[in-house]
């Protein structure tokens, strides 16, 4: 090694030592305490959680929830014909006449249910049961659906020992996201969905800048883990991107009498 090279190497080493020494000194002068990483505001709101009852799979609504069905009436819903956005945005057949019996409302042929209130990001709890008497097979057995913002179907289907295409089975985002598991209960038994939904984002030009994302528990088992929803859930063809704002919860009529109870939402 030449003499100049040795000199440069020594200088570099001294500089490194000086920098590290300064850094240590700074760390010591701003010594961390337990309090320096404790945050006191804003304080999360107090929410009284729901309770487990004989008539719930999960809990009753927590104190800050918007109740969409409490077992008494369908006042929070209107009837619509068709469940694709193009039809439901134009049709309102008036009050929902789905029958309510023993605290349960049953889907009725010809009309889907649209919530009067609209939501952006939310947590949704809903309980359903497919008919105890098994009729049909595949997609024709206990078919309904929970349409998030009225556009994106989380499939409801009796998939207990009833195979169908996996991107259309219970727990799927219809034809977009295959569920991670099939924790189906038997026909006629109560099942529950707990859904955490983040709406898609659009810019002023109507372009989607972020997908919708959904996390879903079916009967307490994770079936969708922050799954991206790329557009509408189409029976035929690819997802369509349609800019939109807040949207309703829509319960699909697919010709099978599916029962629902204990439906509540927490806007996020």
Residues near Mg ion (CB under 5 A) are 143, 145, 252, 254
Nearest approach, Cβ of 156 to Mg ion (angstroms)? 6
Nearest approach, Cβ of 73 to Mg ion (angstroms)? 24
Nearest approach, Cβ of 165 to Mg ion (angstroms)? 12
Where does the chain have alpha helices with state H? 3-29, 85-88
Nearest approach, Cβ of 40 to Mg ion (angstroms)? 47
Q: Which is nearer to Mg ion, 129 or 254 (CB)?
A: 254
Q: Which is nearer to Mg ion, 65 or 129 (CB)?
A: 129
Q: Tell me which residue of 213, 104, 105 sits closest to 149, measured CA to CA.
A: 213
Cα angle at 79 between 211 and 145, to 5 degrees?
A: 45
Take residue 240 and report the two structure tokens written for it: 């369509």
Nearest approach, Cβ of 75 to Mg ion (angstroms)? 24
- Cα 83 off chain centre by: 18
Q: Which is nearer to Mg ion, 65 or 105 (CB)?
A: 105
Nearest approach, Cβ of 264 to Mg ion (angstroms)? 21
Q: Tell me which residue of 105, 1, 123, 125 sits closest to 56, measured CA to CA.
A: 125
Q: Which is nearer to Mg ion, 56 or 158 (CB)?
A: 158
Query: What is the rounded distance in angstroms from the CA atom of residue 105 to the CA atom of residue 6?
Result: 86
Query: What is the rounded distance in angstroms from the CA atom of residue 40 to the CA atom of residue 33?
Result: 15
Q: Which is nearer to Mg ion, 76 or 252 (CB)?
A: 252
Q: Which residue is nearest to Mg ion (CB)?
A: 145
Query: What is the rounded distance in angstroms from the CA atom of residue 126 to the CA atom of residue 185?
Result: 15
Q: Which is nearer to Mg ion, 59 or 139 (CB)?
A: 139
Tell me the torsion sign for CA atoms 85, 217, 219, 140: positive
Q: Report yes or no: 100 and 263 within 8 Å, Cβ to Cβ.
A: no
């Amino acid at each position: 090694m030449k003499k100049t090279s040795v000199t440069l190497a020594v200088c570099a080493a001294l500089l490194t030592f000086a920098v590290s020494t300064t850094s240590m000194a700074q760390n010591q002068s701003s010594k961390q305490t337990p309090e320096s990483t404790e945050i006191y505001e804003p304080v999360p709101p107090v929410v009284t959680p729901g309770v487990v009852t004989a008539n719930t799979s999960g809990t009753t609504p927590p104190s800050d929830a918007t109740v969409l069905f409490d077992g008494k009436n369908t006042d929070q819903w209107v009837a619509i014909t068709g469940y694709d956005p193009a039809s439901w945005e134009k049709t309102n057949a008036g009050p929902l006449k789905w029958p309510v019996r023993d605290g349960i409302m049953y889907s009725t042929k010809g009309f889907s249910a649209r919530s009067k209130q609209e939501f952006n990001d939310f947590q949704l709890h809903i309980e359903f049961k497919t008919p105890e008497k098994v009729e049909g097979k595949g997609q024709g057995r206990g078919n309904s659906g929970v349409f998030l913002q009225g556009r994106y179907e989380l499939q409801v289907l009796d998939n207990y020992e009833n195979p169908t295409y996996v991107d259309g089975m219970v727990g799927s985002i219809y034809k977009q996201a295959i569920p991670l598991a099939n924790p189906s209960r038997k026909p006629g038994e109560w099942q529950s969905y707990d859904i955490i939904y983040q709406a898609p984002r659009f810019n002023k030009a109507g372009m989607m800048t972020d997908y919708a994302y959904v996390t879903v528990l079916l009967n307490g088992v994770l079936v969708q883990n922050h799954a991206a929803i790329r557009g509408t859930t189409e029976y035929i063809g690819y997802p369509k991107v349609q800019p939109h704002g807040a949207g309703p919860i829509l319960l699909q009529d697919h010709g099978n009498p599916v029962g629902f109870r204990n439906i509540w939402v927490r806007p996020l």
